[in-house]
Structure 1
Amino acid sequence: MTWKTLDDMDLEGKRVLVRVDINVPVEKGKVTDATRIEKIAPTVRDILSRGGRVLLVAHFGRPKGKVVLDMSLRVTIPALENVLARHVTFVETFDGAEAATNDVVLLENIRFHPGEEANDPAFAAELAELAQIYCNDAFSAAHRAHASTEGLAHLMPSCAGRQMEAELRALEAALSKPKRPVGAVVGGAKVSTKIELLENLVEKLDVLIIGGGMANTFLAAQGAQLGKSLREPDFEQTAREILDKAARTGCRVILPVDGKVARSFGAGVPYDVVTMGADTVLDEDQMVLDAGPQSIAAITQAFDGLETLIWNGPLGAFEIAPFDEATMATARHAAALTQAGKLITVAGGGDTVAALHMAGAADDFTYISTAGGAFLEWMEGKTLPGVAALEAST
């Protein structure tokens, strides 16, 4: 990687414009989950400890270039001050940011300005006047070519923040230069949302494990009749093409060999374990809601033979027992291998993170990405504008 980090920058006496993602959940005027704020603390503290001052630039919601009072970042100030254990000055305008002399300053929602999402060069130049160094610590916004995520890196000395650095190093280790054999779990509901991801992964992986509703589409493509199971008939040909490509590239694809089948979806409903394959025929009112015990055994055995594992998406309807078993059991096995030093595990995506926390496995994974869209686009092999700009600025 060719981008710079904070270690490469002289911060003494400098104001550092730090692009962060503190787009946190808020209810009744209070932040309900400060995780994203906690993630930026190492960068802020590092800059301050080395004599720099911090100007935080962030978005909140989708105001579409207009001032929307309900989307003001002012609401985050108490949570920021609590996490950082210091006063944070909030300013609404560029003039206010320029005049502020405090160590930590938060600028109002950058998306209130139409020039932000348009990546207007003139707007980026205005932003650049506010500081001497640009630090991007918002990997989750790196797939957007906006003024504060891409434009600024071309105008001033630039580097990655600590969170961005950790994310990029983890993804580099997982996919760009992984310890092999490398495998991935790709689950979730729909093939249609992950076509590019699958097409990219089968060129780079040794093992691809497909689960969740996605697996139903692949099984149906092979001839299985799956009743009212979630699947996408329009993408069965796509599934066949992905399987063909995997065969050509030497990527072994693991699909469920059995599944938990029920006639209704709910906690504790009766179910049967059914063998899954091209010859499977379910009743019209039956649906597959989770992978079965033989599938779990095949997946955990595959994990045992890997050096690196990437995870995106659950293997079943993990929110409700008893259809959470495949996701929970395999996640815990991967976590145990990681703790034993036998496996590098990198996971990302909203449902994935939620499932890993439910399994009690998240803390034992090597790296958990909280960046949804950016994580997926990286896995799809796409160039992320925010990352490319940092590389170009070196």
Structure 2
Amino acid sequence: MRLLSEHTVLPGERWVYSAGCNAGPALTDTGRIDTELDDLRRLAAAGARVALLSHQGSAKDGTARHLEYLADYLGKRLGQKVRYFPECATDPARRRAAELRDGDIVLFGNVRLDAREEDGDRELAAALARLGDRVAIGGFSKAHRRHASNVGILGFLPGYAAASLVRETELLRPWRAGSGAAAGSVAVLGGVKPEKTTVGLESLTRTYDLVIPGGAVLNTILAVIGYAVGDSELGADPERCAAVTRAVLARSNRARIHLPRTVVIAGPAGATRAVPVENGVPDGWAVVDFHLEQWAVDAVRQAGRVLVAGTPGRHTEGNHRAAAAVLGARAPGDPATLLLGGDTVAELPWAGPRSTGGGSALHYLADGTCAVIEALDGNRHKESSEHAA
């Protein structure tokens, strides 16, 4: 695939930059924004005219919002005015892009405000492509999504991989074969997204020595085994996750899977208590954390490689037991411990290596590629004259 770093940028070139600056207004963690700064700075300094696209939230669940706060933050970090235009796929947006001057960066409206974005709609992709003549694809956190602004747009413009995308794949490449690590490897899975089970549990139990499930991954395993889980979170696709879990548990050639003897459950009015997992979780109560078995703590401490993909307990609600046991068993900033994803990095107190990708990182670890990487590879011969604007 073509790399933005190898392209000589000329004054007046019109670029669409598809970023993954997915951070809320509180800007609790800005890693997904900061990773794009070097390329944006280089483009502007060379006199390119940059139409910046990004996202936050989803139109499908009503969480998408406007991004003025992101333009303000980018302006401060880049040392130049970054203006905001609240539309991205309209005729006014196209005209605004045509008005850009050399060195200008304008952040256009949140692509997720358009429900067609997440469907990879071709018409929307064509409209976004009209904002420029070339597209730089960053935002590794969305690299596994076949959306209009990061895969669909490559059907209309010559595409280049931004440095943020390249850096992430280089960071993750040594972590694909976890079982090759000296002293063994451990993968921790948490959170509520189905991909933590359908991709993470399925693939990491093939390549890591020990998998410690938490969150919806653990709850699904407990339910499949036959324990009552009460009102515990099972994620957005419980039936599919349960089917994958059954298949994983039935495999003989898989990692050891940690199952706690004691879980922490929360009930009415936020009351919490620790209960033996074999007793089950009553209705009205939900698993929010668990006690890590001592043998597993020892395995984490001695492991040559520890991957953390998702918080194992409901960390923002004060349930820190499992996360503290895992991270407490590793030296602060340990280079052989890697955290994946925006929420994981934002919530857990870790100053060591981290990836901006959650689901995208799991897909890359499983397959060695992602939807965006495949699309960029297929796009490498496209010329700007083919743009259908």
TM range (shorter): 0.7 to 0.9
RMSD: 4.1
CA contact (8 A) 2:173 2:365 kept: no
Matches of 1:84 and 1:75, distance apart in 2: 14
Distance 1:155 1:335, change over 3 A: farther
Structure 2 residue aligned with 1:367: 354
Matches of 1:63 and 1:231, distance apart in 2: 23
Higher Cα Rg, which structure:
1
Q: Secondary structure at the match of 2:312?
A: coil
Alpha-carbon offset, residue 145 of structure 1: 2.8
Letter in 2 for 1:367: R
Matches of 1:120 and 1:238, distance apart in 2: 29
Matched, 1:348 2:349: no
- Structure 2 counterparts to residues 241-280 of structure 1, below 5 A: 241-245=247-251, 247=252, 249-256=253-260, 258-260=261-263, 264=267, 271=273, 274=276, 280=278
Letter in 2 for 1:140: S
Matches of 1:72 and 1:261, distance apart in 2: 38
Which piece of structure 1 moves more, 8-17 or 191-200? 191-200
CA contact (8 A) 1:4 1:158 kept: yes
| Correspondence for 1:183 among 175, 183, 186 | 186
Matches of 1:315 and 1:149, distance apart in 2: 30
Structure 1 residue aligned with 2:387: none
CA contact (8 A) 2:213 2:257 kept: yes
Letter in 2 for 1:327: A
Distance 1:94 1:253, change over 3 A: same
Matches of 2:289 and 2:298, distance apart in 1: 18
Matches of 1:15 and 1:296, distance apart in 2: 56
Alpha-carbon offset, residue 138 of structure 1: 1.9
**Structure 2 residues not aligned, in runs of 5+:** 86-91, 381-389
CA contact (8 A) 1:187 1:315 kept: yes
Q: Secondary structure at the match of 1:243?
A: helix
Matched, 1:44 2:56: no
Structure 1 residue aligned with 2:371: 385
Matches of 1:55 and 1:125, distance apart in 2: 14
Structure 1 residue aligned with 2:89: none
Matches of 1:130 and 1:231, distance apart in 2: 41
Alpha-carbon offset, residue 390 of structure 1: 1.4
Matches of 1:312 and 1:165, distance apart in 2: 20
Distance 1:320 1:298, change over 3 A: farther
Matches of 1:348 and 1:16, distance apart in 2: 27
Q: Secondary structure at the match of 2:35?
A: helix
Structure 2 residue aligned with 1:106: 106
Matches of 1:119 and 1:289, distance apart in 2: 35
Matches of 1:62 and 1:253, distance apart in 2: 33
Structure 1 residue aligned with 2:97: 97
* Aligned residue pairs, count: 362
- Structure 2 counterparts to residues 1-394 of structure 1, below 5 A: 3-13=1-11, 14-26=13-25, 35=30, 36-50=32-46, 52-59=48-55, 62=58, 71-74=65-68, 76-91=70-85, 92-109=92-109, 111=111, 119=120, 124=125, 127-128=128-129, 130-175=131-176, 180=181, 181-188=184-191, 194-212=197-215, 214-219=217-222, 221-222=224-225, 228=230, 230=232, 239-245=245-251, 247=252, 249-256=253-260, 258-260=261-263, 264=267, 271=273, 274=276, 280-281=278-279, 289-292=288-291, 295-321=292-318, 323-334=319-330, 336=332, 339=334, 341=335, 343-348=336-341, 350=343, 352-356=344-348, 360-361=349-350, 363-364=351-352, 366-369=353-356, 371-378=357-364, 381=367, 384-394=370-380
TM-score (norm 1): 0.73
Instruction: Give the share of equivalent positions with the same residue, in percent.
Output: 24
Alpha-carbon offset, residue 45 of structure 1: 1.4
TM-score (norm 2): 0.74
Alpha-carbon offset, residue 44 of structure 1: 0.8
Matches of 1:375 and 1:120, distance apart in 2: 24
Distance 1:4 1:301, change over 3 A: farther
Letter in 2 for 1:306: A
CA contact (8 A) 2:59 2:115 kept: no
Q: Structure 1 runs of 4+ off > 6 angstroms?
A: 112-115, 190-193, 231-237, 265-268
Distance 1:259 1:290, change over 3 A: farther
Distance 1:307 1:130, change over 3 A: same
Distance 1:194 1:154, change over 3 A: same
CA contact (8 A) 1:296 1:330 kept: no
CA contact (8 A) 1:213 1:316 kept: no
Alpha-carbon offset, residue 215 of structure 1: 3.0
